[in-house]
Chain A
């Protein structure tokens, strides 16, 4: 056992390989963001379609939460069978995982729009479409955005497992490390990969604070 040495190994390793770490981190980030964008488009659409009907709303929430109970390795494996190895499979699976918080928050956000606001919008003759786009969605947006942020945090770590089915990202180092158990680089690989994931999560969180500032209407900020 080499006392205090593992930390030194990690530092040395990072000093040598940080350009590669950066590359993997960017891949990881893109994987997550792509899935989040799809999940937002799909999740908000589902939310809009179901929020008026309580039974449909609870159906949508239970279906999307069932997805979350599938072990990630199993879902990725299924995707490989249906779609094949690579990023595409990973993005589909990650999108599915990200749906629950987005659907649930879209439904809540839309349901929480002040009835007086909806009534006055209807009473002034705004069409169903303008009410949705100009009134209801902007008012629900802060809640929806919170859902998107939670979804993102959720899939940042799941995305590491996607390396197993040939997708890019920081999971590659973690699985590499796992495969080379016993070698000197095993631990530095795993620790660097993990640190990278934490870093990506941190960056994404900062990104969402910015998005919130930029997209939440001024009248709703406090």
Chain B
């Protein structure tokens, strides 16, 4: 296995205050490692030692096999994407100039920078023609957060450091940003250190999770499923809190389960045709109507179809409760609870209807997950590589 980031006995002691105590960690290329733990346990300090915003008291850091503790810090940082909770966009610069920060520092030529800016805006789902020349204050919190991510990705760094990147937005936006970010990660495959103090976020985002304790040491570093089913000690158990079964829903993505195909029809299909379709769909009391681009629009029942007139666009109930394939079953369950008909509608990147997730799907997934975990624990946690084991293997 290739390790992109290696921390060896990394320690930081501020005058009179221990912050990070002999943290060792091997982070494989292309994975998201989440640092999670109570406030003051040293997550931010560890992160900032990796890009040398804080100099370690002792220990070393290797990135891509290279000891970076003696590198020119500015050069090092241009190779590492950095996103913080308060984002820190430059308010006096346009969105395009903000995104171009590192490419400009690296002296890319103008055309290349302009092309890259547009590409990144597309990547984070914002229309370049609309947003390129705006200023940060003209954007919403969620949009600014996307720009923060785009700016960090600008020079295509192999490593990204993210300190509570979605900590300052409302829960709904946060969930959306998380899913979007996971989709983006599927395309860019960065090696990412991600700090949060939200266990749910850690389980959703992390390929691996490092749980820091009050003693500023790592309590457990492993795959989320292993940590959930096999907490190393009492601290980890307490920290995960109750409801571990529910948390496991974070481990299954919507795209990994079989979707139910709910009977659907087009908004402008005509009342007779719709009524026939609903009658044919046995056991379903609602029909899902999609617009001309295939995006979910309304739920209609036979009563709604009995009313005269052909315009369906405001009949029945709005088709809300959407999840994307890279959302988790936890997200789907969340949506389901607020949905009108008790299921979450799955849509792709363009918002086109794919199918639905209902409560049965979720229950089945919980059961298979449990069985999978039991099976794996019986044969030993083969694909979780604790750092000590790796250490042994290397020496």
Residues of A bordering B, CB below 8 Å: 114, 116-127, 130, 135, 138-139, 217-220
Contact = CB atoms under 8 A, between A and B. Distances in A.
Contacts of B53: 119, 122-123
Contacts of B87: 116, 120
Contact of A122 (B77, B90, B102, B135): B77
Given A123-B77, A130-B105, A116 B137 contact: no
B43 interface: no
Interface stretch (B32-40, B91-99, B181-189, B313-321): B91-99
Contacts of B51: 123
B136 interface: yes
B276 to A, nearest CB: 57
Contacts, number: 73
B174 to A, nearest CB: 18
A116 to B, nearest CB: 4
Given A119-B88, A219-B91, 10 more contacts: A114-B88, A114-B91, A119-B84, A123-B82, A124-B82, A124-B151, A124-B152, A127-B74, A130-B105, A139-B92
B102 A125 contact: yes
B94 A219 contact: yes
Contacts of A120: 82, 84, 87-89, 148
Nearest to B77: A125
10 contacts: A114-B86, A120-B88, A120-B148, A123-B51, A123-B77, A123-B82, A126-B74, A135-B90, A217-B93, A219-B93
A96 B135 CA distance: 38
B105 A126 contact: yes
Contacts of A121: 88, 90, 101
A123 B102 contact: no
B84 A125 contact: no
Contacts of B137: 219
B124 to A, nearest CB: 17
Contacts of A114: 86, 88, 91
Nearest to B102: A124
B76 interface: yes
B78 interface: yes
Given A116-B87, A120-B87, A219 B102 contact: no
**By CB atoms of chain B within 10 A, which of A118, A124, A127, A220 has the most?**
A124
Interface footprint category on B: 20 to 34
A130 B151 CA distance: 17
A128 to B, nearest CB: 8
A117 B77 contact: no
Interface string B171-212: 000000000000000000000000000000000000000000
A53 B101 CA distance: 28
Interface in B268-290: none
Given A123-B77, A123-B82, A219 B105 contact: no
B76 A125 contact: yes
Interface in B59-109: 73-79, 82, 84, 86-94, 101-102, 105
Interface in B130-156: 135-137, 148, 151-152
A178 B102 CA distance: 64
Contact of A138 (B77, B92, B161): B92
Contacts of B151: 124
A116 B51 CA distance: 16
Nearest to A128: B74
B234 to A, nearest CB: 36
A144 B105 CA distance: 26
**By CB atoms of chain B within 10 A, which of A117, A120, A122, A220 has the most?**
A120
Given A123-B53, A126-B101, A117 B90 contact: yes
B85 to A, nearest CB: 8
Contacts of B90: 117, 121, 135, 139
Interface string B317-338: 0000000000000000000000
B91 A116 contact: no
A218 B92 CA distance: 7
